[in-house]
A and B are shown apart, each in its own frame.
Chain A
Amino acid sequence: MANARSLVKRLKSVRNIRKITRTMELIATGRFKKAMDRATEAAAYTKKLSEIVGDLGKADLNFSHPLLEERAETKKSVLLVLTSNRGLCGGYNGAVLRNTLRHIKQLKEDSIEYTLEVSGKRGIKFLNFQQIDLDRTYIHFEDKPTFAEVDELGLRYVDDYIAGRIDRLDVSYTRFDSISRQEAIVESILPLSSLAGDSDTTGEGGGAGSVDYEFQPSPQEILEELVPAAFRAKLFKCFLDAAVSEQIARMVAMKGATENADEMAATLKQQYNRARQASITSELAEIIGGAAALE
């Protein structure tokens, strides 16, 4: 009987855990939808931006801007790591941090001086444990990073880069490719490789029928504003991607946990039924045995 009782206890706790993981899955699904909507809204901005870049391109001028120029020698770099504040999201943080460690090692080998900036409690804890010095930490980027918050960093990077205080900016984050595919990568976003946020959207803009634009002020001056804007949009996209990927990772992890709990509950239930049946049988056998002994 004792066995059956302990099984009941375990069964109850497994069911409770299942309830929790199921709820977390639902919450993550809701947050994912919201984050996804934000990401799509942001995509409209980048698309327009690249359209204007395309228009400027037709005005035939040579693109030159400090943010686009690759430095002959990379001495100082900034590594920005985007992790989540909360755990229970499967391999999401692990993948980003693994990449980060590899990148740090690479930087050390190339003897490039680096500044490490980490967003998210998970990353901060992990890197502290690895006894890696962090230069700046942020924990205020939740699952809804606002442009104003990200822009604060963006403006600082732009200033630092133009002033020559940094030669490169790498971001270690999880890129969102599709709902079923996210990839942890380290991406260099300064110097800007392409102007148009995403290289695949370039030229899609005003391709059909060239329009003779009037530029106010000159194309060159518009470009001067446009390049930092493109960079800031790109940085913002990194944050949004990370937020979306986090929610997906959590959703998947919690779905798995719920399924496991279901399976476990079924096994435990079966075990309990067997134990109960066995105890009934043995009781009966005792009674029958006792009655037989009396005869």
Chain B
Amino acid sequence: MADLRLVLVTPEKTLFDRAVASIRVPMFDGSAGIYPARAPLVGRLGIGELKLNGTDGGSESYFVEGGFIQVKGEQVSVLTNGAMPASEISRAAAAAELEQARAEKATSEEELNSLARKLERARKLVSMATVD
């Protein structure tokens, strides 16, 4: 079966453009798996882990911060505001971010929303952190 081609782009650069066997993306309402020959899809992403299995059996994961996904034939495009390889997330930095987000106080609805976003981001970062 034909492989998928994953393109991961952020506003700053194209992080990833290779053939992969399967992908797991964080949709707005939970994880979704994408295998070759999936029906075309346009969807909104949440914050979390994007995991991909390479054609050679290896796997990689990236932390992605919202955005969109487009599946068209074998072409999968992931557009996100920010992404980084899981191997670059440090535990200490993630913990510090969570600490900081927790310490913040929100007084208006907008602030509450942005704080909720920050907290979610920090929690996901902590859960994905691999490096000390």
**Within 8 Å of chain A (Cβ to Cβ): is B42?**
yes
Residues 162-218 of A at the B interface (beta carbon under 8 Å): 163, 206, 211-217
B101 within 8 A of A: no
Cα separation A51 to B42 with both chains bound (whole Å): 11
Q: Is there an interface contact between A222 and B9, defined as CB atoms closer than 8 Å?
A: no
Within 8 A of A (CB), among B48-92: 66-68, 70, 72-73, 77, 79, 81-82
Check A147 against B10 for contact (C-beta < 8 Å): yes
A232 vs B42: C-alpha distance in the bound complex, in angstroms? 20
A48 to B28, CA, bound (A): 19
- Asked whether B70 lies within 8 Å of A48 as measured between CB atoms, the reply is yes
Residues of A contacting B68 in the complex (Cβ-Cβ under 8 angstroms): 49, 52, 222, 225-226, 229
Subset of 15 A-B contacts with CB under 8 Å:
A41-B14, A42-B11, A44-B9, A44-B13, A45-B11, A48-B7, A49-B68, A52-B79, A147-B10, A214-B40, A216-B41, A216-B43, A221-B44, A222-B42, A229-B68
* Further contacts, 20 of them, CB under 8 A, given A48-B9, A148-B82: A42-B12, A44-B14, A48-B7, A52-B42, A56-B42, A146-B12, A147-B10, A147-B12, A211-B40, A212-B40, A214-B39, A214-B40, A214-B41, A216-B32, A216-B41, A216-B43, A221-B44, A225-B68, A229-B79, A233-B11
| B contact set with A: CB distance below 8 Å | 7, 9-14, 27-29, 32, 39-44, 66-68, 70, 72-73, 77, 79, 81-82, 110, 114
